[in-house]
Amino acid sequence: MAKKRLIFFHFKRDLRLFDNSGLYQALRRAYELTQQGFPTEVLPVFVFDRKILDRLPSREDRRVSFIFYHVLALQKGLQKWGSDLLILHGSATEELIQCRSRYQSEYGKIDFYGNFDDDPYPRMRDQKIKDEFTKEGGQFCLFKDHHLFSRSEILNRSQSPYTVFTSYKKSWLEKISDPFYLQSYPTEKYKDFLKKGFLSQKSFSLEEIGFQRMDFPSQRESSSLLSVLSDYAHDRDFPSRQGTSLLGVHLRFGTISVRQLVSTALEISESFVSELIWRDFFAQILYHYPRVVKESFKVKYENISWRYNEEEIQRWKEGSTGYPLVDAGMRELVQTGYMHNRVRMVVGSFFCKHLLHHWHVGERWFANHLLDYDLASNNGNWQWVAGSGCDAAPYFRIFNPMAQQEKFDADFIYIKKWVPEFETSRYPPPMVNHEQARQRALNEYRKGLER
């Protein structure tokens, strides 16, 4: 009789069982092989990857709590399906390779399935795993799950990546009209091919992996999401309204399906879909131009004489710039891990233009604090506010933080929530004069770009 076969399924940024494309493909492959006379099972695995965790600057990280909570939920879901989740902690590459060795004597062949993640570290990690698994004759397959379109799925007429959003969006919308791309992956259909009767050998607490438990907001009810989508175009720019979906973190870690979200949104809100297209747009920019992680997309922007002043950066980080909309946003970020999009644009512009600091420094601060932190979107948006990005705001467009407040928080509701001492003697005067700072930015940007 043929020896049994095993397929590892590695959960990463796709912490859900439903409509999970890679998981579906793994289960379906197990079904097909079994039909062909090679009994096959799928072993679900999650690794708390020390290579990522060790680099986090604080042991109080909301994202780790979020992931931990959702990994346990995933495990419960798998247990309901008669299986389990193997949870490991260590270097993902080493843990997965060791784990394969443990199962090797029991199984004839071990394959590796997952969904791809195009950030630089996961690409490197998955390449190493691929080398190891294929060396032993295993199959290695990764699938798209995180975006509607990624990598080179949408190219311009000369087969190059789009670097202008409006043209990318047009092609994206044309392509999505084919219902194929929104089809759901019915994982439950093949759930009997999940491995049964194994014990997830360790159960971890958050403290055991070195982190403190932190709060994070719970997901909106789906009825409330529908009402947000209906009013999205009117409300999305006002930080005191419940006008946006707050789904960033769920998209980031795959606790919702982007295909299902787009299917719903296409019926209700064109402007919401447009934001999800920005997400795909920046992901394909990072994939094709990984240099953006370290340098400006428009390299000339590196010639600007960026300033570096610790004290100013500190005031920006703690929200004591004397510009209330900026300060409210920066405090919201540190206290909750979230900041409203309109305010992200204002604080980003203030940092790069009024203070004339390199976008890289602001980007890092966001990376350390945002619950929905995503390398491609954060980098793309920071370069957008700095003017250095592929399809960025022109450098001479400088947000006036006071005018933004008058337009989007006219009654100071958002500001008073986060800056209770506003309008008292304890609140500092503006750290820079708007008109002078604006002029300095224009001069320095112009000089740098002419170099």
Ligand X SMILES: Cc1cc2nc3c(=O)[nH]c(=O)nc-3n(C[C@H](O)[C@H](O)[C@H](O)COP(=O)(O)OP(=O)(O)OC[C@H]3O[C@@H](n4cnc5c(N)ncnc54)[C@H](O)[C@@H]3O)c2cc1C
Residues that bind ligand X (CB under 6 A): 236, 244-248, 251, 275-276, 278-279, 282, 341, 344-345, 348, 366, 370, 372-374, 377-378, 381-382, 385
Q: Provide the 10 A C-beta neighbour count for residue 431.
A: 18
Q: Which residues contact 316 (CB under 8 A, 6 or more apart)?
A: 326, 330, 347, 350, 351, 355, 357, 362
For the bound state, the minimum distance from the C-beta of residue 365 to ligand X, rounded and expressed in Å, comes to 10
The residue among 111 and 118 lying less far from ligand X, judged by its C-beta, is 118
DSSP result, 157-168: TTS-B--SHHHH
The residue among 114 and 362 lying less far from ligand X, judged by its C-beta, is 362
CA-nearest of 218, 242, 220, 232 to 273 is 232
Angstrom distance (rounded) from CA 216 to CA 222: 18
The residue among 44 and 254 lying less far from ligand X, judged by its C-beta, is 254
Beta strands 40-49 and 86-90 are parallel
The residue among 41 and 363 lying less far from ligand X, judged by its C-beta, is 363
For the bound state, the minimum distance from the C-beta of residue 310 to ligand X, rounded and expressed in Å, comes to 21
Question: Per the structure block, which two tokens stand in for 277?
Answer: 């297209």
For the bound state, the minimum distance from the C-beta of residue 332 to ligand X, rounded and expressed in Å, comes to 11
For the bound state, the minimum distance from the C-beta of residue 384 to ligand X, rounded and expressed in Å, comes to 7
The residue among 103 and 373 lying less far from ligand X, judged by its C-beta, is 373
For the bound state, the minimum distance from the C-beta of residue 228 to ligand X, rounded and expressed in Å, comes to 7
Give CA angle at 277 (166, 248), nearest 5°. 145
Angstrom distance (rounded) from CA 254 to CA 374: 12
342-378 burial code (b ≥16 CB/10 A, e <16)? bbbbbbbbbbbbbbbbbbbbbbebbbbbbbbbbbbbb
Question: Per the structure block, which two tokens stand in for 95?
Answer: 């843990």
DSSP result, 244-304: S---HHHHHHTSS-HHHHHHHHHHH-HHHHHHHHHHHHHHHHHHH-GGGGTS-SSGGGGGS
Sign of CA dihedral 338, 343, 348, 354: negative
Adjacent-strand bridge partners of 8:
43, 112
For the bound state, the minimum distance from the C-beta of residue 56 to ligand X, rounded and expressed in Å, comes to 15
The residue among 88 and 386 lying less far from ligand X, judged by its C-beta, is 386
Cβ atoms of 254 and 219 closer than 8 Å? no
For the bound state, the minimum distance from the C-beta of residue 132 to ligand X, rounded and expressed in Å, comes to 31
For the bound state, the minimum distance from the C-beta of residue 427 to ligand X, rounded and expressed in Å, comes to 24
The residue among 6 and 345 lying less far from ligand X, judged by its C-beta, is 345
The residue among 7 and 286 lying less far from ligand X, judged by its C-beta, is 286
Give CA angle at 333 (331, 338), nearest 5°. 140
For the bound state, the minimum distance from the C-beta of residue 234 to ligand X, rounded and expressed in Å, comes to 13
CA 259 to each of CA 44, 141, 411: distance values in angstroms, whole numbers, following the listed order? 22, 21, 38
CB-based contacts of 391-394 (< 8 A; 24+ apart in sequence): 391/163, 391/164, 391/165, 392/297, 392/298, 393/349
The residue among 8 and 350 lying less far from ligand X, judged by its C-beta, is 350
For the bound state, the minimum distance from the C-beta of residue 281 to ligand X, rounded and expressed in Å, comes to 8
Question: Per the structure block, which two tokens stand in for 131?
Answer: 């080398």
The residue among 27 and 251 lying less far from ligand X, judged by its C-beta, is 251
DSSP secondary structure letter of residue 307: B
